[in-house]
Each structure stands twice: as C-alpha cells, then as structure tokens.
Amino acid sequence: MAGLSPGLAVLFCALQVQAAGRGAAVTQELLQEGFHRDLLVKVDLGEAGEWAGGCTVVARSQLPPGIYVDPYELASLQQHNLTKAVLIPDVVDVEAPEYSATGLVVLLYLERDPRCSRCFRGVLPVHVRYQRPAGDREEALVALKSPEVLVCCCDDHLSTESWKPAEVEVPCSGKRDYPCQWYSAAHKPAYEELILQVPVGLKQHSALVCVVTLLATVFCSSLILAAVCKHGHFFSLVTCSE
C-alpha cells in the first residue's frame, strides 16, 4: 500500500477484510483409511479471493479428544515446508486414549490453490485415538466440526467496531514472529460436522486379548534372550553359557 495516506491505507484494509468475509465456502475431508489420516481443508473466498493474493488465510479447527496432531511429525513437515500449522496447546500426549485426552485447537495456514484463483487449501496429518472398550457396539462416532476461517490482510493492528476480530492472535506468516490482528470471515460450511467411524474393542474379548498379549510378550522376550545369550552379550549383567 505504498503511496497511500494513512487514512486511505486503513480504509483499504477495512474493505479487504470485509470483502473476504462475504461468500466464503468451506469444505473438509479426511483422506486415507485407518487411524492415520490426512485432513484436507478447502476454502473458497468467492469474488473476494480474486484479489486476496496478499492475504493470509487460516482454518481454525477444534479437534475433539478422539483426534490429535503429532507435534513431532508436524515439526518435521514444517521443517521441509510441507505444511504450516500452530497447535494450542503445543504439548500433546500422543499415547493417551480418547477418554483421558483433551481437545486441541489447530490453526492450519492455507495455500492458494493453483487450479482456482480464489481458493485456498491445506493438508494436515491427523491421528485417531483408541476408544474405551464397549459392551454392545463395535464402532464409535467422532465428530469433527467445520473449521472457522481467519483472514489477515494488513500489516498493522487495526481496531474498529465494524469488523469482527478473531479472539486468538497468531503470526500472520512464517516471516514474522510477532502477532497480528486476524478477522473471522463469515462462511458457509458444506456440512456442519464430519463424522468418523472408529473401531472399538468389545469388553467380552478382554480376557482373550490379555492371554494373547501375555503369550506374545513371553515368546518375543524368549527370542531376544536367546539371541543375546547366543552372541555372548547381556550388557555385562548376566553370564550365559552355551
């Protein structure tokens, strides 16, 4: 916005934010099968997206306790510029089952879709937690709500009653570490929730699972002990004779 007076610059930013909030459409999809999926988020800003090349678009998703993002996997992907996201909180217990876990907020930075000048998209790997064993059903339903669309088009913090600022401040881009003002864009989700069916163990199978697990543990431990004794190494704690 070089060459514009401060008043015109603020007005231009206001028009950008207000236009980006009209006519937006959001879709999300879980790709692949099993407990390890890819969450694909697509945002169509409508006519506003034609000129929104300088804006940053983020999808803010409220993940339920049954779904989580591995922070170590995310750090590796961001290191290779394969995706960009912020986790709130940033510490995640990846081993916890669904019934002892908490929800997670994910802010996924979206990239412009090369096939659509007004569209943005982003992909984030997500994982499904194990559910509590049930007595009469083999599947549990996990609902993933439609994400909120956040738009940042300006370099400065702006405050005006006519806009709807987002409650969470995050960096506008990877080039800047300090927070900036985001605005929540009004949008129409393709559907309110995405339902995921998760396999659930049956309580009546608990005894069988315990026995099989114990036998497998003993068998594998015996193989390891035999291999250690055969090669004559047991971390200098036990002497084995052949």
Q: How much is the pLDDT for 1? A: 43
For the structural domain made of 24-199, what CATH number should be given? 2.60.40
Long-range contacts of 170-177 (CB under 8 A, 24+ apart): 170/58, 170/86, 170/107, 171/86, 172/56, 173/56, 173/109, 174/84, 174/109
Q: How much is the pLDDT for 204? A: 63
Higher-scoring residue by pLDDT: 91, 8: 91
Contact 183, 166 (CB under 8 A): yes
* pTM of the complete model: 0.71
Residue 87 has pLDDT above 60, yes or no: yes
Q: How much is the pLDDT for 109? A: 92
Higher-scoring residue by pLDDT: 79, 48: 79
Give the model's confidence band at 2: pLDDT under 50 very low, under 70 low, under 90 confident, else very high: very low
Dihedral sign computed on CA atoms, order 50, 51, 53, 57: negative
Lowest mean pLDDT among 91-100, 105-114, 174-183, 219-228: 174-183
Q: How much is the pLDDT for 172? A: 72
Provide the residue ranges of all domains of the chain, joining segments of one domain with +.
24-199
Q: How much is the pLDDT for 202? A: 63
Q: How much is the pLDDT for 178? A: 59
